[in-house]
């Protein structure tokens, strides 16, 4: 019996994060953007450890009896994960030390080591330490294991290897000092050594320079940066359910909340000091993560740019959808036809105006919205509160289980409730991940009309500037009536009285609809009708969906995948997936849209969706997938997909070996899809503006 080829989801995710790291190596990427990709890589990895690696460690700590229902050995998976991460961390250090730092120097930006400081700079950092840092460094001298200091979660510390000046032997002492990067900037600009130069010191090295002041009775033999993380919560609900989930949680119930579970440390650390730290904090081998000299490299997001614009990306300012943004009545324009928005190429202003107009329009009676993640300062939230003041019935479903945004979403929910918005929160056992908004308006004839915005991304003004998402404004009753039924279910918990025909909705018909669409392509291939699919998403992990794609490939269906992140499917395997090709695009914007194209015997259908093809999305979330019914919008979406399929600059080939080779072809024309998409969108908007002017002239 042949084994279905699958790549473990976490191994595949690490391959995605390597693609992010590739961007920091790409000499064609502006230097300060390469620095930013180091930050993105590190931020991604931190979350991966907080969630995924924490899961594996939790499973290892669970009893063997509890784990008998798992279809993998968590020790083996964790060992592979740590091996890959260690290799990537060595590469990270090499990139930083041997590529980034020399390039910065060539641009007169110097990261100065403490041994390279001038007397003037030494005086500057000593004053800085005394004036700003001293209250936060918290020096602790260890006395055997009698003192067990509490190290803050994910905070930076120096572990010290000390020798008592008055002792007659060389027996070491150990200590800890906090690096106060949670209170102060990580990068401190120094008085330059030479005119025209820009000198920076990392705050860790200011602490290193000042250690002797904190431990006057000791020789400081060496210092090593460390970071301790604590997995206080288990995020296993998305992967396990029912009895297995309950068993895992019960087996871990005695575990101390906040137990240290991961030590990030300088890989050159003294072995005796490392063993001491492991003993004090009761760490095991699989809790160790060796890195370079500096940790919390997500701080590179705040690396000083000195306003050097030539070291950044050429700006691609968001393009206004003038017909909506400048219209006196946005609803009048949406009634005329559906409108397409493609972020971040388009400005988000039309979405904001949709809510702000609804808040003040005397004919609007209801506003409904699903909020999964929200900007900290949100005009949309402000519009909802204004709408209540103006007598509208406003309801918001706030998903308070959005990972790492739980506190922020609770805050927004409470603020909306205080303003009079009818707020509903998470459903037990499920997340609501759909991206929908609905406005009910009384038209001139006295009849109500539903206006809907549906998309692939959150109602988040900040991420709209960097996430590639698609959405539509529509009054098409085939879609708005089904969107209304979704809101009714969220508000009443009563099952819809009609089936969903146009849309696929998680918990109802999303996965069966997708399987049926694939089966239709299989049937067409068997009838020798041209059968194909183009599937763009963030992650492909659901084993049933993967097996169905393998089945389609074996039937002769041509399948092109564009997967940003996790791809557990193995393309181009003989007799299994030889009709499947897969690419991933990582560039200046985060690919986030989900687009599904089905050949349908020549009557091509295109769907946009909030859902990836992961177990959690297809089984444990309310997601939405909706068809593009407007021909012009369909053509625009298809063109954008074609541009991505022809990318020969930023596309990587996904394969079973996880090589992440750049896709190259024989074309003489370089195609960088995100840049090409921007200018395609610009051309389309210019044409639309010309058409609008002609209409006004009439």
- Active site residues per annotation: 433
CA distance 610 to 593: 8
Contact 155, 226 (CB under 8 A): no
* Residue 358 CA: distances (Å) to CA of 111, 374, 383: 52, 19, 8
Distance in angstroms (rounded) separating the CA atoms of residues 94 and 431: 41
The sign one gets for the Cα dihedral 303, 307, 308, 311 is: positive
The tokens 């002041």 sit on which residue?
Answer: 213
**400-404 contacts at long range (C-beta below 8 A, 24 or more positions apart):** 400/425, 400/426, 401/426, 401/431, 402/372, 402/373, 402/431, 403/51, 403/235, 404/47
Q: Using CA atoms, how far apart are residues 557 and 520, in angstroms rounded to an integer?
A: 10
Alpha carbons 233 and 407: distance in angstroms, whole number: 14
CB-based contacts of 544: which residues, under 8 Å, 6+ apart? Answer: 511, 515
CB contact burial 509-542 (16+ within 10 A = b; e otherwise):
bbbebbeebbebbbebbeeeeebbbbbbbbbbbb
**Which residue, 566, 628, 621, is CA-closest to 597?**
628
Helix (H, G, I), strand (E, B) or coil at 311: helix
Beta bridge partners of 393: 366
Q: 444 in the Ramachandran plot: left (φ > 0), alpha (ψ -120 to 50) or beta?
A: alpha
Element (H, E) at 526: helix 510-526
d(CA 435, CA 430): 15
Token output for 441: 């308006």
């Amino acid at each position: 019996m042949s084994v279905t080829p699958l790549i473990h989801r976490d191994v595949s995710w690490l391959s995605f994060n390597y693609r992010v790291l590739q961007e920091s190596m790409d000499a064609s990427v502006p230097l300060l953007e390469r620095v930013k990709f180091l930050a993105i890589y590190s931020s991604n990895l931190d979350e991966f450890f907080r969630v995924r690696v924490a899961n594996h460690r939790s499973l290892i700590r669970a009893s063997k009896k509890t784990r008998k229902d798992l279809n993998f050995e968590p020790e083996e998976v964790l060992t592979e994960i740590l091996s890959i991460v260690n290799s990537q961390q060595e590469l990270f250090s090499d990139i930083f030390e041997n590529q980034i730092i020399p390039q910065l120097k060539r641009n007169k930006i110097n990261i100065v080591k403490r041994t390279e400081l001038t007397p003037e700079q030494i005086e500057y950092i000593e004053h800085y330490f005394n004036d700003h840092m001293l209250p936060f460094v918290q020096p602790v001298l260890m006395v055997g294991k009698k003192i067990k200091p509490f190290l803050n979660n994910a905070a930076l510390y120096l572990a010290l290897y000390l020798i008592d000046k008055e002792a007659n032997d060389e027996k070491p002492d150990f200590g800890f000092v906090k690096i106060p990067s949670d209170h102060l900037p990580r990068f401190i600009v120094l008085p330059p050594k030479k005119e025209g130069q820009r000198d920076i010191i990392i705050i860790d090295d200011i602490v290193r320079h000042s250690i002797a002041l904190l431990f006057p009775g000791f020789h400081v033999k060496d210092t090593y940066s460390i970071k301790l993380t604590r997995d206080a919560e288990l995020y296993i609900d998305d992967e396990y359910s029912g009895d297995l989930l309950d068993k895992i949680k019960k087996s871990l119930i005695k575990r101390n909340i906040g137990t240290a579970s991961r030590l990030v440390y300088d890989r050159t650390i003294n072995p005796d000091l490392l063993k001491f730290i492991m003993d004090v904090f009761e760490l095991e081998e699989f809790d160790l993560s060796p890195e370079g000299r500096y940790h919390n490299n997500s701080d590179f997001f705040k690396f000083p740019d000195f306003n050097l614009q030539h070291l950044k990306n050429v700006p691609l300012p968001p393009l206004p959808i003038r017909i909506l943004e400048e219209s006196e009545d946005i609803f009048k324009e949406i009634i005329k036809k559906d409108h397409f928005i493609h972020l971040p190429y388009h400005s988000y202003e039309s979405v904001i105006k949709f809510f702000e107009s609804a808040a003040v329009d005397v004919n609007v009676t209801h506003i409904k919205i699903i909020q999964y993640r929200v900007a900290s300062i949100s005009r949309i939230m402000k519009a909802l509160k204004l709408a209540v003041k103006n007598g509208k019935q406003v309801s918001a479903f706030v998903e308070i289980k959005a990972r790492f945004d739980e506190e922020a979403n609770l805050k927004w929910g409470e603020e909306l409730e205080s303003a009079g918005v009818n707020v509903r929160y998470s459903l037990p056992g499920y997340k609501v991940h759909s991206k929908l908004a609905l406005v009910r308006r009384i038209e001139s004839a006295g009849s109500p009309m539903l206006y809907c915005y549906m998309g692939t991304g959150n109602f988040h003004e900040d991420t709209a500037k960097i996430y590639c998402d698609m959405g539509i404004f529509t009054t098409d009753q085939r879609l708005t009536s089904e969107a209304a039924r979704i809101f009714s279910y969220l508000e009443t918990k009563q099952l819809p009285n009609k089936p969903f025909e146009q849309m696929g909705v998680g918990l109802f018909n999303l996965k069966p609809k997708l399987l049926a669409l694939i089966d239709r392509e299989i049937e067409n291939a068997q009838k020798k009708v041209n059968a194909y699919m183009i599937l763009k998403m963030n992650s492909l992990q659901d084993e049933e969906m993967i097996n169905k794609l393998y089945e389609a490939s074996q039937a002769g269906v041509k399948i092109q995948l564009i997967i940003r992140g996790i791809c557990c499917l193995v393309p181009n395997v003989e007799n299994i997936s030889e009709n499947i090709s897969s690419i991933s695009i990582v560039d200046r914007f985060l690919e986030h849209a989900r687009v599904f194209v089905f050949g349908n015997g020549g009557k091509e259908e295109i769907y946009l969706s909030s859902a990836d093809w992961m177990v959690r999305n297809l089984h444990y979330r309310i997601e939405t997938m909706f068809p593009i019914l407007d021909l012009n919008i369909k053509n625009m979406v298809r063109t954008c997909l074609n541009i991505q399929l022809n990318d020969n600059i930023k596309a990587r080939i996904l394969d079973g070996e996880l090589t992440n080779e750049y896709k190259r072809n024989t074309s003489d024309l370089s195609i960088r899809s995100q840049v090409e998409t921007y200018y395609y969108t610009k051309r389309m908007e210019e044409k639309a503006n010309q058409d609008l002017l002609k209409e006004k002239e009439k």
